[in-house]
Chains A and B, each alone.
Chain A
Amino acid sequence: MDDLRSLRELRAVVPEPGQEWLVPERRRLLRRMRGRRRGLGRALLLAGVLGTATAVAVVVARPQPPITTPVGPSQAVRLDPSVVLARAADTVGRREGAGEVPRPTQWQYTKTLDKQPNRDETQTFERWMRYDGKQTAGFDEAGKPVVRDVPPDPGDDDLSPQQYDQKLRALPTDPKRLLAKVTGDRHWIDWPVEEGVPKVVEPDASRAYRVITLYLSRYGVMPPKLEAAMFRALALIPGIRIEQGIPDAAGRRGLGVWLDNGIDSPFRDYDILDPETYRYLGRHTVWLRDEYSQSGGDLMAAKGSVWTTALLTSTIVDRPGERG
């Protein structure tokens, strides 16, 4: 008698699922991999700016002027955050209002750059997401836009452009009330929900900072009064720091905002603002010491390594493939 053969026959009728299972499950995985701006999500920032595409078309941008000197704390020119953020609030408050509310079938088009620490070239990513979040589009290898359905993922904390806009429009424009509202928003506390991943709730200041900068990066539809209130609310968060001349992945130097939350982190994350218009430009991460992987002890990033992104375009268009 062959026990192994008998065992192999046990439940052998359970079939391997086909394409009808694979396709939606693959999408679900990609959606879960995408766009997290939590502690865990830092390393996934790149995933957040990519389209949901199996065949990823990567356009290698023309070489950017290399950032040879890591802009670290030692060379940084520190500014007074309350002064800078008050000026930012005044400037953006005078902006023209955002246009009409987009239709659900319109698309949000974003173009971003990514310069990873261990890579020479800067990558360009173009991505469309339907306003109602039901589809995304990106390029296939032939350079043609490919549209894909996005199945609902109840555990995900990411929102459709429409949901972001609804959330933004419901926010108060009084800075203190705005900060309280953002800090207490259960959405950013309770989600994402993931089986097998320990739940970490950030300190209030870190979460408020994360959510406000996330909202500022979605400036396309922000009412000017609200955007002004965002900067005033940012100024109320303890530990806000601002430095001058921090470059993004496009080489644009701006105001580097970061939160000194007292945590001994191997790196510092700056959110970069245009020094004149205060538009969100991108991110700049600099390693303050060597960082090793937790499990393997491998060197992940050496001290002085720099990782930058840049948001070049974020606009509403009528169909995927259009760039506004």
Chain B
Amino acid sequence: MIAEVPGSTADAELIRRSAQVPEVFAELFDRHAAALRRYVARRLGESLADDIVSDAFLAAFRRRRHYDTSHPDARPWLYGIAARLIKRHHRVEVRFYRALARTGVDEITEPYADRIDDRVAAEQSGLAAALAELPAGDREVLLLVAWADMSYEDVARALDIPTGTVRSRLHRARARTRQALGGSDPTSAREESFDG
């Protein structure tokens, strides 16, 4: 008998083993699905999030033999697959930001409305307007950093773009969000608070 010991192996090792024993892949789901669900729900709402998470893991499962096992952490790979699925709902995402910017009401957080912090609510409209206007690629980078806590290297791997591109996209995106928050001149944007 071979028993899987949860939590003791790198993602890469699980993926490698799942090539032979597919159901080992379910452990990867246990590790990352809840956080990914939250990330997708923040962008597209709960109703789309379940299907996207399930599709992302199924797509990942089918590509598991192509996983580069020199990367122990599978998060960038999974979020990169999810990013491609999220992109298909680009209009839905933007519509939510626009609605929030226009009305100050966020349909995505409505189910948890009693927990909304007023201070945050004040900034929301401006941020949402900025997110709606960002080019999709810039928004992807910004939200992987802000909502998925990814480093430049992680984002580069997730989106399969050079680290330099991550840096420049993030720079552009943050210039817009700073501007939206009524702050500094966007051309002087620095990266002082990025801790990824």
**Chain A residues close to B by CB (< 8 Å):** 1-18, 21-22, 25-26, 28-30, 32-33, 40, 43-44, 46-47, 50-60, 116, 118-119, 123, 141, 143, 194-197, 293, 295-296, 298, 300
B139 → chain A closest CB, angstroms: 11
Contact A22 B30 (CB under 8 A): yes
Instruction: State A246–B58 Cα separation when bound (angstroms).
Output: 33
Contact A12 to B120, CB < 8 A, known contacts A47-B23, A196-B59: yes
Instruction: State A11–B146 Cα separation when bound (angstroms).
Output: 11
- Residues of chain B within 8 A of A43, CB atoms compared: 62, 65
Q: Among the interface residues A2, A5, A119, which one has the most CB atoms of the partner chain B within 10 A?
A: A2
- Closest A residue by C-beta to B117: A9
- Size class of the B contact interface (CB-based, 8 Å): 35 or more
Beyond A30-B26, A197-B59, 18 additional pairs, beta carbon < 8 A: A2-B193, A3-B183, A3-B193, A4-B194, A8-B146, A9-B120, A11-B108, A16-B37, A26-B29, A26-B30, A30-B23, A47-B22, A47-B23, A50-B21, A56-B4, A57-B1, A195-B51, A296-B66
- Residues of chain B within 8 A of A12, CB atoms compared: 120
Contact B142 A56 (CB under 8 A): no
Please classify the interface of chain B as helix (H, G, I), strand (E, B), loop, or mixed, using the class held by over half of its residues: helix
A258 → chain B closest CB, angstroms: 24
Contact A29 to B127, CB < 8 A, known contacts A11-B108, A54-B30: no
- Which listed residue (B38, B120, B174) contacts A17, Cβ 8 A? B38
**Chain B residues close to A by CB (< 8 Å):** 1-4, 20-27, 29-30, 33-35, 37-38, 41-42, 50-55, 57-59, 61-63, 65-66, 84-85, 88, 106, 108-109, 112, 115-117, 120, 123-124, 127-128, 142, 145-147, 174, 177-178, 181, 183-184, 193-194
Instruction: State A46–B24 Cα separation when bound (angstroms).
Output: 12
- Closest A residue by C-beta to B63: A295
A158 → chain B closest CB, angstroms: 14
Contact A15 B22 (CB under 8 A): no
Instruction: State A28–B57 Cα separation when bound (angstroms).
Output: 11
Contact B26 A25 (CB under 8 A): no
- Residues of chain B within 8 A of A58, CB atoms compared: 1-2, 21
Contact A10 to B59, CB < 8 A, known contacts A17-B38, A119-B20, A298-B66: no
- Residues of chain A within 8 A of B52, CB atoms compared: 195
